[in-house]
Amino acid sequence: MKQGKFITLEGGEGLGKTTNLAFIQHFLIEQGREVVVTREPGGTVLAEKLRALLLETQGELISDKTELLLLFAARAQHIHNVIQPALTRGAWVLSDRFTDATYAYQGGGRGIDVATIAWLEQFVQASLQPDLTLLFDAPVELGMQRAKKRAALDRFESEQQAFFRHVRAAYLERAQQQSERIKLIDASQSLAAVQLRIQQWLETL
């Protein structure tokens, strides 16, 4: 059976990943693909419990190291129970965030050594990498304005703008380093323009 494709959506807060996830899902289904839509952290019962711990704003202070390890624990479960089985049977997996987010948020935002993240990446996912990553990018101020209109902010969304500027810079640096896989989408454009660009990249697969 033909191996499926793995597509991830990345970017800062409030940049339209959820809206465009649904667009991509619909587009792929129209092409006759089986599509598995998932998210990180999360995607399994256990991983969703870890997600709840990571995002809650009340309770015990979570150290940066604990945060990193919880994210990779959730990812290990996600890959084993959802992503790899789906790809093996030929499905296309569409995930809201994956390991690029860890390099951006925990590496860029928290300042954790990239070599540590890379070691955990290799340990947890071996050779597994997305076939295509769409990176939604816009000025931090625009993204946060949109995020604040949605609902109460979670623990990550409540960070200061300086944190998100570091996150954005890390994402852009990663996109430059891995330009064959990571495709930049200008999320400040109209939704129609964004989705036209998305469709063009999808057609390359």
pLDDT digits (tens, 9 = 90+) for 82-124: 999 999 999 999 999 999 999 999 999 999 999 999 999 999 9
Range of the domain at 11: 6-203
Q: 82 in a domain, yes or no? A: yes
Distance CA 35, CA 87 (A): 10
Determine the Cα–Cα distance for residues 143 and 153; give it in Å rounded to an integer. Answer: 13
pLDDT in tens, 52-77: 998 887 778 899 999 999 999 999 99
Evaluate if residue 14 carries a pLDDT over 90: no
Kindly state the percentage of the chain with pLDDT values over 90.
Answer: 76
Query: Is residue 1 included in any domain, yes or no?
Result: no
Q: Residue written as tokens 């604040």? A: 148
pLDDT digits (tens, 9 = 90+) for 154-170: 556 666 788 889 999 99
β-sheet bridge partners, residue 92: 35
* H or E element, residue 3: none
Determine how β-strand 35-39 pairs with β-strand 132-137.
unpaired
Length of the chain in terms of residues written = 205
CATH number at residue 112: 3.40.50.300
- Contact partners, residue 58, CB within 8 Å, separation at least 6: none
Total domains in the chain come to: 1
Q: What is the pLDDT of residue 31?
A: 93
- Residue 1 confidence (pLDDT): 54
Please check whether residue 10 lies inside any domain of the structure: yes
Tell me, yes or no, whether 28 lies in a domain: yes
